């Protein structure tokens, strides 16, 4: 049983993979811990529904700070930072451990350390390299990392990029996301064809689903080209444009209206019933064109007993065993994706790979194992002497 008071801090009110993972951790620790969001949104209600104490300390202009480059909001964001740092530090001082779930949250928690004097854990869910972060942002992360007590990386790929940037001063543990199999177990009891019909999807032909927010790096446009080369296939895009990527959604819709794809692409928007929807697909595809830090959707597709086609970069290569529990293809390659779909044209091949995938996902991505690892790290960090916790460099074990 957990007994340190943890303040979890997350910059977003929207539901992404990082927030779904925190939901599991915070629900497990809801009796002694709380979540502080730096922006309001649906995440707040999801936490409250699960009995997690949650509040919002609005970051306001801090939301204008970007991952890459200097934008119009940068100066306003920097000016708003001190007030936010102070307000968050006041809350942090009442906890035993401060647990930042996102990078801006990490920055706010580390900057306030001289006020709250609590150990700071960063649950790192990003690959902090030049493909995602600008130079100034990487320098800032390197500098801020000196104030961290511990890093929990969601994959070896995330851990390696962090070490390359920040060196060995902070101990880093790799803890893969665990995914609750219960909704998938329940979905597997449903009638697949009835689910398809209820969602307006065709009962026949190959039905291929991609479950991600609509943004260019998730590669929906690449999969569209692959599906256009796969006769009779239907593409289902589940997810919404969460962070102002409306132009990308408009471009996808325009491409979907062209004659070779007309009527074959379904946009379902953001959905909470992912397990059932995955189960009614023939194939679940992950098409990110950049290295994915982890890739929850890949594990979820496997739990739904689907064959998963995924791009071979980042954390995904730690999840899928190519040819056994899924098929790996190079990122950004529509031809390779189309060839992988063709390999899965046979229902028997799909069935077999899906069964292997489910067994591997159940065994390797258990939520209980993840929660035990996080609890163990939090308990260790809570015992770190205050001078070390106050930001002096630690040696890696
Ligand atoms: N997801 C969802 N509804 C949607 C689309 C996606 O709940 O309409 C979930 C998906 O099931 C997964 C998460 O969002 O759990 C995305 O996590 P992932 O690690 O794949 O990517 P991220 O969003 O963290 O980049």
Question: Which residue ranges have their beta carbon within 6 Å of ligand 1?
Answer: 16-18, 20, 211-213, 238-239, 270-271, 274, 294-297, 300
Are the beta carbons of 104 and 62 closer than 8 angstroms? yes
Atom from ligand 1 closest to the CA of residue 239:
8
Question: Cα(300) to centroid of ligand 1, in Å?
Answer: 9
* Residue 218 in this model has a pLDDT that exceeds 70: yes
How far is the centre of ligand 1, averaged over its atoms, from the C-alpha of 211 (Å)?
6
Which of 3-7, 116-120, 200-204, 366-370 bottoms out in mean pLDDT, i.e. has the lowest? 3-7
Work out which ligand 1 atom sits closest to the CA atom of 179.
Answer: 15
Class of residue 310 by CB neighbours under 10 A (exposed 0-12, middle 13-18, buried 19+):
buried
| Residue 316 · residue 292 · CB < 8 Å | yes
| Predicted pLDDT of residue 397 | 25
C-alpha angle 27/101/395, rounded to 5°? 115
Q: To test the ligand 1 pocket, which listed residue (212, 239, 286) has its Cβ within 8 A of the most ligand atoms?
A: 212
E-assigned strand segments in 213-297: 234-238, 265-269, 283-285
Q: Sheet harboring 120-124: ordered strands across?
A: 54-56, 34-37, 6-10, 97-100, 120-124, 150-153, 171-174
316: CA distance to ligand 1 center in Å? 14
According to DSSP, the residues that pair with 8 across neighbouring strands are 35, 99
| Higher-scoring residue by pLDDT: 245, 251 | 251
Q: What is the pLDDT of residue 391?
A: 45
pLDDT at 74: 75
* Ligand 1 atom at minimum distance from 240 CA: 8
Ligand 1: atom nearest CA of 271 is 8
Q: Which atom of ligand 1 is nearest to the CA of 294?
A: 19
Distance 296 CA to ligand 1 centre (A): 7
Q: Exposed (0-12), middle (13-18) or buried (19+): which is 244, by Cβ within 10 Å? A: exposed
Average pLDDT (304-331) is 98
Domains of the chain listed by start with CATH number:
6-178+367-389 (3.40.50.2000), 182-364 (3.40.50.2000)
Q: Has residue 69 got a pLDDT over 80? A: no
Which residue has its alpha carbon closest to ligand 1 atom 25?
A: 17
Which has the closest alpha carbon to 336: 266, 281, 287, 284?
A: 287
Question: With pLDDT > 70 as the criterion, what percentage of the chain qualifies?
Answer: 95
Å from CA of 178 to ligand 1 middle: 14
Q: What is the pLDDT of residue 385?
A: 60
Gap between the Cα atoms of 224 and 311, Å rounded: 15
Mean pLDDT computed over 185-205: 95
Residues 25-56: tens digit of each pLDDT: 999 999 999 999 999 999 999 999 999 999 99
72-96 as b/e: b if 16+ CB within 10 A: eeeebbeebbeebbebbbebbeebb
CA 268 – ligand 1 centroid, Å: 14
Element (H, E) at 24: helix 17-28
pLDDT tops 90 at residue 333: yes
User: Is residue 76 predicted with pLDDT exceeding 90?
Assistant: no
| C-beta of residue 13 within 8 angstroms of C-beta of residue 37 | yes
List pLDDT tens digits, range 362-393: 999 999 999 999 999 999 999 866 544 444 43
CA of 212 to the centre of ligand 1 (A): 5
Share of the chain above pLDDT 90, in %: 87
Contact 105, 6 (CB under 8 A): no
The pair of structure tokens assigned to 138 is 């990487």
Over range 227-255, report the average pLDDT: 94
Give the distance (Å) from ligand 1 centre to CA of residue 143: 30
Pocket test for ligand 1, best of 12, 19, 20 (most atoms within 8 A of CB): 20
**Mean pLDDT value across the chain:** 93
In angstroms, how far is the first alpha carbon of the chain from the final one? 25
**pLDDT tens digits for 84-129?**
999 999 999 999 999 999 999 999 999 999 999 999 999 999 999 9
The mean pLDDT of 326-330, rounded to a whole number, is: 98
Radius of gyration of the chain (CA): 21
DSSP-assigned letters across all residues of 142-177: HHHGGG-SEEEESSHHHHHHHHHHHTTSSEEEE-PP
Helix (H, G, I), strand (E, B) or coil at 328: strand
Q: Between these two residues, 391 and 238, which has the higher pLDDT value? A: 238
pLDDT at 171 over 90: yes
Residue 227 CA, ligand 1 centroid: distance in Å:
21
Give the Cα separation of 27 and 8 in Å (integer): 11
């Amino acid at each position: 049983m957990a007994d340190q008071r943890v303040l979890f801090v997350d910059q977003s009110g929207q539901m992404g993979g990082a927030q779904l993972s925190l939901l599991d951790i915070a629900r497990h620790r809801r009796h002694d811990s709380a979540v502080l969001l730096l922006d309001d949104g649906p995440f707040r209600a999801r936490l409250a529904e699960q009995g997690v104490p949650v509040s919002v300390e609005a970051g306001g202009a801090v939301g204008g700070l970007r991952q890459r480059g200097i934008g119009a909001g940068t100066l306003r964001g920097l000016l708003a930072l001190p007030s936010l740092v102070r307000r968050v530090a006041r809350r942090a001082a009442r906890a035993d451990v401060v647990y930042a779930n996102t990078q801006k949250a990490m920055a706010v928690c580390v900057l306030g350390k001289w006020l709250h004097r609590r150990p700071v854990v960063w649950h790192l869910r990003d690959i902090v390299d030049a493909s995602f972060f600008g130079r100034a942002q990487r320098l800032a992360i390197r500098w801020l990392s000196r104030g961290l007590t511990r890093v929990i990386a969601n994959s070896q790929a995330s851990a390696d990029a962090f070490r390359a940037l920040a060196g060995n001063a902070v101990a880093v543990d790799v803890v893969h996301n665990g995914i609750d199999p219960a909704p998938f177990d329940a979905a597997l009891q449903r009638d697949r064809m009835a689910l398809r019909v209820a969602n307006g999807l065709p009962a026949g032909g190959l039905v291929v689903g991609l479950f991600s927010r609509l943004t260019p790096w998730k590669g929906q446009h690449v999969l569209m080209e692959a599906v256009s080369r796969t006769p009779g296939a239907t593409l289902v895009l589940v997810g919404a444009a969460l962070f102002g990527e409306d132009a990308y959604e408009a471009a996808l819709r325009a491409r979907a209206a062209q004659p070779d794809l007309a009527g074959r692409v379904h946009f379902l928007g953001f959905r909470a019933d992912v397990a059932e929807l995955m189960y009614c697909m023939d194939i679940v595809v992950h098409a990110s064109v950049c290295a994915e830090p982890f890739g929850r959707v890949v594990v979820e597709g496997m739990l739904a007993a689907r064959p998963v086609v995924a791009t071979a970069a980042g954390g995904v290569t730690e999840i899928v065993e190519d040819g056994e529990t899924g098929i790996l293809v190079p990122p950004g390659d529509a031809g390779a994706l189309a060839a992988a779909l063709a390999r899965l044209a046979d229902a028997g091949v799909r069935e077999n790979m899906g069964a292997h995938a489910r067994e591997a996902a159940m065994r390797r991505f258990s939520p209980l194992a993840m929660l035990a690892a996080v609890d163990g790290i939090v308990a260790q960090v809570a015992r770190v002497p205050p001078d070390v916790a106050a930001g002096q460099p630690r040696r890696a074990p």
